Structure 1
Amino acid sequence: MRLILILFLLFTSLFASKEVLLLHSYHKGYKWSDDISSEIEKRFKNEKDIDLTTIYMDTKHVASPLYLNKLAQLYKEQFSTRDFDIIIASDNNAFEFAIRYHEYLFKDLPVLFCGINNFDRAFLGENNMKNYMSGVVEQVDLEKNFELISKIHPNLEKLLIINDKSKTGLAVKRDLRPVIEKYSQKFKIEYVDNLDIDNLKKKVINLDKTKSALLFVLLFKDKTGKFFTYKQSFKKVREVSQVPIYGLWDFYLDYGMVGGLLTSAKAQGEAVANMTIQVLNGKDVKTIPIIEKSPNRYIFDYKELDRFDINIDKILEDYEVINEPHGFFRKYTKLVVVTLIIIAILLIMVFSMKANIQRRMRVEKDLQNRIKFDKVLLDTLPNPIYYKNKDGKFLGCNKAFSELLNIPKKDVVGKTAKDFFAADIAARNETVDRKLLHSLGTDTSEVTLHLADNQMRHIIIKKAVYLNNDSSIGGIVCIMDDITERIQQKQFLIQQGKLAEMGDMVAAIAHQWNEPLVELSAQVQDIQTSFILNELKDSQVQEFVNDSMVQIKYMSQTLSDFRNFLKPSTKKVFFSIKQSFEEIFEIIGKQIFYSNINMRVNYNYKEDDLIIFGYENEFKQVLLNLINNAKNKIIDKNTNDKYNLTINVEESEKYNIIEIIDDGGNIDSNIIDKIFEPYFTTKKRGTGFGLYMAKVIIEDKMKGHITAQNRDKNVVFTIKLPKKEAKNENSTIRR
């Protein structure tokens, strides 16, 4: 049961949806955040069963400790009914928030980050997050951008750097200091992060358009506290600028920025999405290395390159250009593509029509061959087969079916089950067909047919619904399996098993008769003595007759029990387990007693008696076989020790259970799995039928289970018989 539960939990866990929380530092509409979300959603779209929830912290507008604490309380309430598998933290504020409130909000959950500036691996260790975190670092390459600007503009005299005082802006400012110090020897560098937008525009307007350039970092809030979207602030600067503008992030492209070595939000999103899928597929987050080299790319806007007459080919070999003009084909791409598609479609239609005609000709020929083959195949099969439409009329059959019913195949078509089978079988046939046509399933049943030549055949019928090409119901196919010989063979084997037990039975009868014969002998001698001495009285004669009849009836009953045991059961009946044991003990009880075996029967159930449903004599054969096996094993030990044979009879919710336990020594573990196989025996003169037929009777004929096991120093045979069998049949109980 535990194994089934574990497999069930494993199965459900494999197919359950994975819950992913994407926690953005900023707000929806911020290009950087939107691009990260877009790439993550695109990557997850190709995966099944991933549910993505996106939350925006809006820390571009407010990021006070009080606000973050209230956010944590809100999320605690919001996520109380959610069961996330992994957290994605986008940018520094979300990263630090996930670390600070990991125990409170995301206890034991793995966290992947992206877009992190000034990343310090030691920070994870200090906050005990090494085992829970990995991700992608956002590392703007300031020095390479400075190098690029100096190469593009070798006569540059001034570089104006525009930034703000956001968390990201301050992180970039720290990284700028050594770079500014290095390049300030080549040209003048002015860093601005404390002007309002109007003064900033004036400063840009005053730049020398031939000897100046501008590096636009970030501007989401100016000195006055006024907020801007990423487009608004850049456009205000771009509309007054007469000098080329370079940047660090790709979301300013296509708004008037020349370009640079840009940090890509899409690359960040793609990388963290791939890491997320690895974790959801079972990989431990701590084994996924942190990508500390940001996936940056050289990207430029052709319009701005052309505006300032900049040639990148002389400086870089590997770069991308957007908004590059194209020739006629690209200028009229839609028209060309539509035209080519139309031509291709027409060509495909022509060729497909030609191929379809040829294919249909081949299919028709193949179909004719297949019909002939199927006809031969059906007639070759030994199983009777017929098929009929959904109205119950026969459409055809194979040779075996026509021979079974002794009817020509052509006479089967158009008939119904009522024309071939008895009324009760035909009615049951129609009921099964209606259920199958409704459920579109299969059915297996067993019937006994009385044929015209007075033969009785036991048949297993297997039915299934077949569909037409348009998925409508065509009808039902039926395959019949004649199991008459198999049933007869099993019955023969059962009788053989009984005969194999006859030696022990005869010995048991000899024990049973020994005492009454001694008693009769003594009474005869007593009568003879009285007669010789002329002391014989009428009362003595009557007493002799009465006592003799008691012994004779006892011996006669023993023979009757023996005869009943040999007689095969023809049908299932209700009978008492207790009575079955008592009848067995009448035959072999004394033999067990004289074998120095202490036998004890425990009836552990609430009712007065425990009734089972099955083949009574065959069931008693199983009990006799198991008890005799235990007795013979103990006798073979040839010791004077006292051995025990314990029989427990009890019931559970679904089964009536019988345990036969002896302490005569364990079965060899190498053969215990083979003892129920036919012809397997460890006795010199054994047949190998006994336990095999016990398994056939209990499992095949009575739908139960029989097992053997070693328990400590005991051997335990367990028989389980289902209760439901007794509830589904109507029969009298033999007591």
Structure 2
Amino acid sequence: MKKILLFLILFVLMGTTHAWAHDKKILIINSYHKGFQWSDDVLHGMEEVFYKHPEITMNILYMDSKRINSKEYYEKLRELYKLQLKNQKHDLIVAVDKFAYDFLIEYYHELFTDEPILFTGLEQFDLKEIHEKGLEDRIYGVMERRAIGETIPLMAKMMPKLKKITIINDASANGDDSEPFIREAMEEYKESLEIEYIRQSTLEELEKRFSTPNKEEAIFYIRFYNDRYGNLYKNNQIAAMIQKSALPVFITDTLFIGKGAFGGKLVPVQKLGMATGEMVLDALDKKIHPLHVETFEEYWYQFDVQKIKQFEIYPNPVIPEFELVNEPETFFDRHRKLIDAVFLISPFLIFLILGLFHNIYMRIRSEKELRAVEVQKNKHQQFIIQQSKLAEIGEVFSSIAHQWKNPLVEIATIAQDHFYSTTEQTEEQNNQFVHDIMVQVHYMTDTINSFQAFIMPSTTKTVFDVNEAIETMLKIINHTIKYNYIDVSVDISNATNLMVKGYKNEFMQTLLNIVNNAKDQIIQQREEKKIKRGTISIMVYNHAQKVIIEICDNAGGIQNEKLSHLFDAYFTTKKQGHGIGLYMSKLIIEDKMGGKITASNKNDGACFTITLGNVT
């Protein structure tokens, strides 16, 4: 009996000793503070690996080197760690990023005895320094390699018009580690691209600098946690700056994907942590030898769907395989729990299907009603436009009559000469009479054809030249302008592209409304002896890929209290006005052509500004 009891005691002790022999204590020294996303993602990756190894115990010390980074601080930290780690023994020390690694190498012999060190996240590794400290028999590591050299040509392929890249990298020790790779890439592509390199700035300066869209420029963001004054930015502040950028922001890791960055060839930070965890296991099991250093070279091509739409930059066919993030949530994503519940309560599924059919039927009926309302609305808008054109016909008809008067007189005179001349006229003379008559008739035909084309409503959008539309409109009202002593000038000297997409005739109607209003006001000013001669200037130019048309007169302007109501339906400043013309103009420019029309007072008259999108 005693022998059996002794055997059981020895068995329990052996089992306990075996369990102790497999317990492993790991000390992790994190360069940063808790909540710093990069190192938190690395630690999450390590924890995912260690989750399957309950024999491993982790203890984490946070250095907070982003907030405080000085020699005095590290010396105080050394004294604190001496107290914390006194009489403690660890199987492995893990240094997360450069600050922790440099700290361990500097103070290793004061804090530890023979514990091995495994670093992660470094971009540079100096073997000479290890030999000088006598630590070559206890160093392991996982290097992080950012795809800096590969991202610049990737940007150039995805943006064929790219001319300038701005690289952002803060002035930290991490930034120093990335510096050689950045300089190497800049040197390689300096002939084909303008590359600006920023290491010292502030978020406010960067937001202001990148607030203007430019299809020939992009940002390559490496990091920017510390500004020129040493202030530390939080991830949400950096993400806000990236989100506001009017230029696409390419990145090198997964920290800001889905938070404003466009995307790129990214280091998956949590996977870097998992690779670190696997190397920790290998080091503890003696499967690898000291000075075993691997470079983590796993990358994800990821791009933000919303930014692809915003900048119209597409990864395919440049990249054969990539992942899209930030895609709009589908119906099934929004109602996943509901759908799961439906399948759990399958006896009620038939009622749900019937309800869905009823919902679809009601939606189709509702859409039909909405389409009918929309069709009616469009008809009403077209009616208003046509009514306004008819109201303008009376004003331009006198101009057409004047254009016809002279050719009709000429025709009568030629006919009289022909019939009352001698019968001895030659064939050649008769032919000349016929020719002269036909010239005048053709002139009349061209006039009426232009007028008929103008009053015909446009049915589909077309690409047309703004200057050509202006010239055509001016020909229609040429005489009514000329004989009211009004000078009209058109300036397109600052325009490079005047092609727009829209409804040409309706656009001409808008111009006619504005010019006729200016003409009426000028006539009134002349009758009141306030001006001697009227002027209407039309200036057309390009700005920010838009076509701007400014129509200004010298007729005294519009009362300020009436400016805000100028485009309201049935609002008029004329005694006999109908209040439709400018309302219709706003409808055409803004609702039908997606542009903008505004009115203001400038110098000695009113000025109307029309903004339309360019066709490239």
| SS class of match (1:76) | helix
CA distance in 2, matches of 1:62, 1:249: 24
304, 307, 310: which one aligns with 2:307: 304
Which residue identity does 1:215 align to in structure 2?
A: F
122, 135, 138: which one aligns with 1:132: 138
**1:29 maps to 2:18:** no
Q: Name the counterpart of 2:266.
A: 262
Q: Name the counterpart of 1:85.
A: 91
Instruction: Tell me, yes or no, if the aligned pair for 2:138 and 2:291 is still in contact at 8 Å.
Output: no
CA distance in 2, matches of 1:53, 1:95: 16
**1:231 maps to 2:230:** no
Stretch moving more, 324-333 or 92-101: 324-333
Q: Name the counterpart of 2:217.
A: 212
| SS class of match (1:84) | coil
277, 287, 308: which one aligns with 2:281: 277
Q: Name the counterpart of 2:254.
A: 250
How far off is 1:238 after superposition?
2.9
How far off is 1:201 after superposition?
2.5
Which residue identity does 2:219 align to in structure 1?
A: L
Which residue identity does 2:198 align to in structure 1?
A: V
How far off is 1:283 after superposition?
1.5
User: Which residues of 2 match residues 28-427 of structure 1 at below 5 A?
Assistant: 28-206=34-212, 208-239=213-244, 241-280=245-284, 282-283=285-286, 285-286=288-289, 289-325=292-328, 327-343=330-346
Instruction: Tell me, yes or no, if the aligned pair for 2:264 and 2:303 is still in contact at 8 Å.
Output: yes
CA distance in 2, matches of 1:300, 1:15: 48
CA distance in 2, matches of 1:148, 1:243: 16
User: Which residues of 2 match residues 522-541 of structure 1 at below 5 A?
Assistant: none
Q: Name the counterpart of 1:20.
A: 26
Instruction: Tell me, yes or no, if the aligned pair for 1:110 and 1:285 is still in contact at 8 Å.
Output: no
| SS class of match (2:338) | helix
How far off is 1:75 after superposition?
0.7
Which residue identity does 2:280 align to in structure 1?
A: T
Which residue identity does 2:318 align to in structure 1?
A: I
Higher RCO by CA contacts (8 Å cutoff, separation 6 or greater)? 2
CA distance in 2, matches of 1:308, 1:297: 21
Which residue identity does 1:40 align to in structure 2?
A: M
How far off is 1:82 after superposition?
2.5
Task: Describe the shift of the 1:89–1:220 C-alpha distance in structure 2 as closer, same or farther (beyond 3 A).
Answer: same
CA distance in 1, matches of 2:114, 2:345: 57
Task: Describe the shift of the 1:18–1:173 C-alpha distance in structure 2 as closer, same or farther (beyond 3 A).
Answer: same
Instruction: Tell me, yes or no, if the aligned pair for 1:131 and 1:285 is still in contact at 8 Å.
Output: no
How far off is 1:343 after superposition?
4.4
Instruction: Tell me, yes or no, if the aligned pair for 2:139 and 2:290 is still in contact at 8 Å.
Output: no
Task: Describe the shift of the 1:310–1:88 C-alpha distance in structure 2 as closer, same or farther (beyond 3 A).
Answer: same
How far off is 1:304 after superposition?
1.4
| SS class of match (1:109) | coil
Task: Describe the shift of the 1:205–1:33 C-alpha distance in structure 2 as closer, same or farther (beyond 3 A).
Answer: same
CA distance in 1, matches of 2:145, 2:11: 45
Q: Which runs of 5+ in 2 are unaligned?
A: 1-5, 350-616
Instruction: Tell me, yes or no, if the aligned pair for 2:94 and 2:119 is still in contact at 8 Å.
Output: yes
1:427-469 alpha-carbon deviations (Å, 9 max, x no partner): xxxxxxxxxxxxxxxxxxxxxxxxxxxxxxxxxxxxxxxxxxx
> Identity percentage over the alignment?
29
How far off is 1:234 after superposition?
3.5
CA distance in 2, matches of 1:38, 1:179: 32
Task: Describe the shift of the 1:15–1:339 C-alpha distance in structure 2 as closer, same or farther (beyond 3 A).
Answer: farther
How far off is 1:106 after superposition?
2.4
How far off is 1:67 after superposition?
1.5
| SS class of match (2:294) | coil
CA distance in 1, matches of 2:55, 2:161: 57
CA distance in 2, matches of 1:6, 1:137: 45
Task: Describe the shift of the 1:103–1:294 C-alpha distance in structure 2 as closer, same or farther (beyond 3 A).
Answer: farther
Instruction: Tell me, yes or no, if the aligned pair for 2:28 and 2:60 is still in contact at 8 Å.
Output: yes
User: Which residues of 2 match residues 660-671 of structure 1 at below 5 A?
Assistant: none
Alpha-carbon RMSD: 2.8
CA distance in 2, matches of 1:6, 1:127: 45
CA distance in 2, matches of 1:142, 1:236: 21
| SS class of match (1:75) | helix
Task: Describe the shift of the 1:345–1:109 C-alpha distance in structure 2 as closer, same or farther (beyond 3 A).
Answer: farther
1:635-665 alpha-carbon deviations (Å, 9 max, x no partner): xxxxxxxxxxxxxxxxxxxxxxxxxxxxxxx
Instruction: Tell me, yes or no, if the aligned pair for 2:243 and 2:260 is still in contact at 8 Å.
Output: yes
Which residue identity does 2:325 align to in structure 1?
A: I
Which residue identity does 2:45 align to in structure 1?
A: E
Which residue identity does 2:312 align to in structure 1?
A: D
Which residue identity does 1:245 align to in structure 2?
A: V
| SS class of match (1:96) | helix
User: Which residues of 2 match residues 695-706 of structure 1 at below 5 A?
Assistant: none
How far off is 1:176 after superposition?
0.8
Stretch moving more, 62-71 or 197-206: 197-206
Instruction: Tell me, yes or no, if the aligned pair for 1:99 and 1:127 is still in contact at 8 Å.
Output: yes
Instruction: Tell me, yes or no, if the aligned pair for 1:145 and 1:260 is still in contact at 8 Å.
Output: yes
| SS class of match (1:160) | strand
| SS class of match (1:103) | helix
How far off is 1:24 after superposition?
0.6
| SS class of match (2:223) | coil
CA distance in 1, matches of 2:320, 2:66: 37
How far off is 1:41 after superposition?
1.7
Task: Describe the shift of the 1:95–1:285 C-alpha distance in structure 2 as closer, same or farther (beyond 3 A).
Answer: farther
1:568-599 alpha-carbon deviations (Å, 9 max, x no partner): xxxxxxxxxxxxxxxxxxxxxxxxxxxxxxxx
Q: Name the counterpart of 2:396.
A: none
CA distance in 2, matches of 1:52, 1:345: 50
Which residue identity does 1:226 align to in structure 2?
A: N
CA distance in 2, matches of 1:87, 1:9: 28
Instruction: Tell me, yes or no, if the aligned pair for 1:133 and 1:285 is still in contact at 8 Å.
Output: no
CA distance in 2, matches of 1:314, 1:130: 47
Instruction: Tell me, yes or no, if the aligned pair for 1:219 and 1:234 is still in contact at 8 Å.
Output: no
